[in-house]
Amino acid sequence: MSPPREIELKLDVPARYLPRLTASPLLKGATTSVHEPANLVSVYFDTDKLELHRRGLSLRVRRIGRRLVQTVKQENHGNAALFDRGEWEHDVPAKQPDLDAMRDTALAPLLNEKLRRGLKPVFETRVRRKVFHIQSGESEIEFSIDKGKVEAGGKSSPLCEVELELKQGQTADLFKLAKMLAHEVPLQLAVNSKADRGYALLTAEKAAPVKAVPVAFAAESDVQCHFKIAVKTQYPMAG
């Protein structure tokens, strides 16, 4: 059985353009999850040696009002621009991770007493989120605007981003919507998740180069065709 998947496109947006973004004609007619932005506080857990991070996993407990939601994610970047990850969510009764609720997740092979004793909060994110539900073509897309900060080790870093999560339909519709939005406000493809930002702040890592994915060419195609295919593959928002 395939694990539950999260497919989303992240876009960085300058905070001063948020009013223009929320007033976009593309959002007219979209339904919102809440009338006011929701405050989300997410605490990420790992060991002293950051074992989960080294294995491409993240674990957080997010407070949404009175609700606490535990989420395990498994990184799987198939495209430099698109986040396609295994995701397991469970409501939990406390702020500490519930290991029993992780037995059906990608964290299961690591579950033992050593991990239970070693898990601790390593950083957190605090954002105000507004969510819109959009019908784009035959696809259903959750459009979220997040503004807040990442805090780790006494340091903090601001974040302002848009998430386009595919709930149903085709990934091409994510890029189509992003391209239309980019004509209205200056958006930039984001290649780091909130967890990536937190770990980078925690370990003082410098941004690493993002490698392009392999591009397949037909033997009979010409140079001009090669160039167009390469641009479309690596930069789906390009014209």
Confidence band for 36, pLDDT divided at 50, 70 and 90:
low
Tell me the mean pLDDT in the region 171-194: 92
Q: Which of the pair, 84 or 50, is modelled with greater confidence?
A: 50
Q: Considering only 1-5, 129-133, 175-179, which range has the smallest mean pLDDT?
A: 1-5
Rg, Å, the chain Cα set = 19
| Residue 169 dihedral angles phi and psi, to the nearest 5° | 120, -145
| Average of per-residue pLDDT values in the chain | 85
Q: What is the structure's pLDDT at 45? A: 98
Rounded to an integer, what distance in angstroms lies between the CA atom of residue 181 and that of residue 18? 12
pLDDT of 152 higher than 60: yes
* Cβ 9 vs Cβ 163: under 8 Å: yes
Task: Please determine, for residue 81, whether its predicted confidence score (pLDDT) is greater than 70.
Answer: no
Q: State the pLDDT at residue 221.
A: 60
pLDDT reported for residue 204: 87
For residue 131, what pLDDT is reported?
A: 92
Higher pLDDT among residues 33 and 101, named by residue: 101
Give the pLDDT band of residue 176 (cuts 50, 70, 90).
very high
Which carries the bigger pLDDT value, residue 61 or residue 154? 61
Backbone phi, psi, residue 199, to 5°: -65, -35
Residue 197 has pLDDT above 70, yes or no: yes
How much is the average pLDDT of 123-143? 92
* pLDDT reading at 121 higher than 70: yes
What's the token pair of residue 118?
């070693």
pLDDT at 227 over 50: no
Better-scored residue on pLDDT, 15 or 239: 15
pLDDT interval class at 155 (50, 70, 90) = very high
Does the pLDDT at position 97 exceed 80?
yes
pLDDT of residue 84: 84
Query: Do the beta carbons of residue 148 and residue 159 sit within 8 Å?
Result: yes
What fold is seen in the domain 5-206? Hypothetical Protein Pfu-838710-001 (2.40.320)
Query: Which one has a higher pLDDT value, 191 or 51?
Result: 51
**H-type alpha helices, the chain:** 18-22, 51-54, 113-118, 171-182, 194-203, 223-234
pLDDT of residue 137: 79
Residues of the chain with CATH 2.40.320.10: 5-206
Are 173 and 139 a contacting pair, CB within 8 Å?
Answer: yes
More confident residue, 106 or 239: 106
